[in-house]
């Protein structure tokens, strides 16, 4: 655990205590248009990344699944169908607005009975040890203040043999793609945010927070340091996004 008193919020260095509320403000601001913006920004490809995450999760009927930073419930909806009535899916998010949007969306689309909604901080998960067969965190880890603490707590609540999947923006593997991606992130994204969500700052933060997030190898080491075994990662769309998977021994 780091003893530093500050952490990054995009490119800014801020007090650790302040980051959670600053991130919360971002997501309160974008919650209502989160799905629309995701579709626009990724041209719908985020659904493919999430689909691959579900394939690699190996979740079966009757499993208990925790979707941290589950936002508007894309993964939770799929898991709910896969685990069936004898399984359990917990959609957790630190942000009340995102959780509310996710809860409404899932209930409106008939997903109920095996889904619970929990407002929780990824660093201090309110669950007993060895509870879940699988934990996913999609596009959420970079917003967590102390990633090391969060990874250790995820390990704690996983059952032995359970899997953690971290889907997150990462480092493009080619220079050309990297340059194009930079232009897109810092020119197009904030413009899109201003036009569609009337909120350019939040999307500026999105682009900056992606650049500050650990790259593929660093995150792999962080997961190993937290105690995960057999950690591997899969680059998707040229490394713009990476899916890391680790097991609890």
Partner 1 sequence: MAAAIDPALHTAGLAAAEAAINRALDLAPASAAALASLQDKVFALHCTAPQVDVYLQPTDGHIRLMGRYDGPVTTSIRGQASDFAQLATTNDPAAALINGELALHGDSAPLIELQGILAHLDVDWEAPLVDALGDVAGHQLAQVLRGVFNWGRQASTGLARQVEEFIHEEARLCPPKLELEDFYRDVQELQMQVDRLASRAQRLRKRLRERAART
Q: Count Cα neighbours of 218 within 13 Å in the Cβ-side half-sphere.
A: 11
Number of other residues whose CB lies within 10 A of the CB of residue 127: 18
Cβ at position 28, least distance to partner 1 in Å = 30
Cβ at position 89, least distance to partner 1 in Å = 17
Under 8 Å between Cβ of 234 and 165:
no
Under 8 Å between Cβ of 34 and 97:
no
Question: Based on CB atoms, which residue is closest to partner 1, 6 or 237?
Answer: 237
Q: How far apart are CA 156 and CA 143, in angstroms?
A: 20
Q: Which of 8, 14, 52, 201 binds partner 1 (CB under 8 A)?
A: 52
Beta bridge partners of residue 117, listed in sequence order: 91
Which stretch in 23-31, 41-49, 188-196, 197-205 sits in contact with partner 1 by CB under 8 A? 41-49
Under rule CB under 8 A, residue 13 binds partner 1? no
Question: Based on CB atoms, which residue is closest to partner 1, 26 or 243?
Answer: 243
Under rule CB under 8 A, residue 217 binds partner 1? no
Under rule CB under 8 A, residue 232 binds partner 1? yes
Question: Based on CB atoms, which residue is closest to partner 1, 95 or 170?
Answer: 170
Q: How far apart are CA 199 and CA 8, in angstroms?
A: 21
From 84, 86, 87, 58, select the one nearest 164 (Cα to Cα): 58
Helices (H), 71-138: 74-83, 96-108
On whether 72 is known to bind a ligand per the annotation, the reply is: yes
Token readout for 131 is 């509870």
Cβ at position 43, least distance to partner 1 in Å = 11
On whether 104 is known to bind a ligand per the annotation, the reply is: no
From 103, 30, 12, 107, select the one nearest 38 (Cα to Cα): 30
From 44, 45, 72, 40, select the one nearest 192 (Cα to Cα): 40
Which stretch in 48-56, 64-72, 152-160, 189-197 sits in contact with partner 1 by CB under 8 A? 48-56
Under rule CB under 8 A, residue 237 binds partner 1? yes
Q: Which of 24, 149, 192, 236 binds partner 1 (CB under 8 A)?
A: 236
Q: Which of 36, 48, 191, 195 binds partner 1 (CB under 8 A)?
A: 48
* Main-chain phi, psi angles of 61, to 5 degrees: -55, 135
Under rule CB under 8 A, residue 235 binds partner 1? yes
List residues near partner 1 by CB under 8 A: 45, 47-49, 51-52, 55-56, 58, 60-61, 173, 232-238, 241, 243
């Amino acid at each position: 655990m780091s003893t530093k008193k500050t952490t990054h919020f995009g490119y800014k260095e801020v007090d650790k205590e302040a980051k959670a509320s600053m991130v919360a403000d971002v997501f309160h601001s974008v919650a209502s248009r989160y799905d629309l913006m995701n579709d626009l920004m990724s041209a719908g490809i985020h659904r493919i990344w999430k689909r691959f995450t579900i394939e690699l999760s190996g979740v079966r009927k009757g499993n208990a699944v925790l979707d941290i930073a589950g936002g508007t419930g894309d993964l939770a909806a799929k898991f709910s169908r896969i685990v069936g009535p004898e399984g359990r899916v917990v959609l957790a998010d630190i942000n009340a607005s995102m959780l509310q949007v996710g809860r409404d969306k899932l209930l409106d689309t008939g997903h109920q009975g095996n889904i619970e909604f929990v407002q929780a901080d990824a660093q201090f998960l309110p669950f007993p040890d060895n509870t879940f067969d699988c934990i996913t965190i999609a596009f959420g880890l970079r917003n967590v203040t102390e990633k090391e603490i969060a990874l250790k707590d995820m390990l704690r609540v996983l059952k032995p043999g359970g899997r953690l999947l971290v889907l997150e923006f990462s480092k493009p593997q080619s220079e050309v793609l990297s340059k194009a991606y930079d232009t897109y992130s810092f020119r197009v994204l904030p413009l899109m945010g201003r036009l569609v969500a009337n909120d350019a700052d939040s999307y500026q933060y999105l682009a900056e927070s992606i650049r500050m997030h650990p790259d593929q190898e660093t995150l792999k080491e962080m997961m190993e340091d937290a105690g995960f075994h057999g950690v591997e990662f899969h680059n998707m769309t040229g490394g713009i996004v990476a899916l890391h998977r680790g097991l609890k021994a």
